[in-house]
Amino acid sequence: MKSTIRNLITASLVCGIPSLITPAAWAADAAAGKAVYSAKCKSCHGADGTPSAGMAKAMGIKPMGDPAIQGKSDADLKVSITKGLRKMPAQSVSGADLDNVVAAIRTMK
């Protein structure tokens, strides 16, 4: 009886631990996102998320730390990136790279 209970507890722990670890494993990687951002976004939005004064004026770009940008949902940011927004063309970023770019934008406060 004791061994059955011990086996059930052990099985519960073994099965339960991955569910605790999995959300962290699925978390977006801001560092990886910065590499994609650097390749696809930096030329207009600036290396640190602050566009040059000329680019900001010509294209109507706000800094990534602006409350209007940081206040958008992740889903809205993804749509802006993949579909484009005003003068910004759509970018070919998808999957984990897209999640990672959004995570990188979230660090630019």
CA distances to 35, 41, 63, 91, 103 from 67, rounded to whole Å, are 23, 19, 9, 22, 16
Higher pLDDT, 10 or 72: 72
**59 falls within a domain:** yes
Domain total of the chain: 1
**7 falls within a domain:** no
**66 falls within a domain:** yes
**8 falls within a domain:** no
User: Domain range for residue 89?
Assistant: 28-106
| Lowest model confidence (mean pLDDT) among 23-27, 38-42, 80-84, 90-94 | 23-27
Higher pLDDT, 109 or 101: 101
Q: What is the CATH number of the domain that holds 79?
A: 1.10.760.10
Residue-averaged pLDDT of the chain: 85
**13 falls within a domain:** no
Whether the per-residue pLDDT at 62 is higher than 60: the answer is yes
Question: Predicted confidence band at 43 (pLDDT cuts at 50, 70, 90)?
Answer: very high
The Cα 25–Cα 12 span in angstroms is 20
**38 falls within a domain:** yes
Verdict on whether the full-model pTM lies above 0.75: no
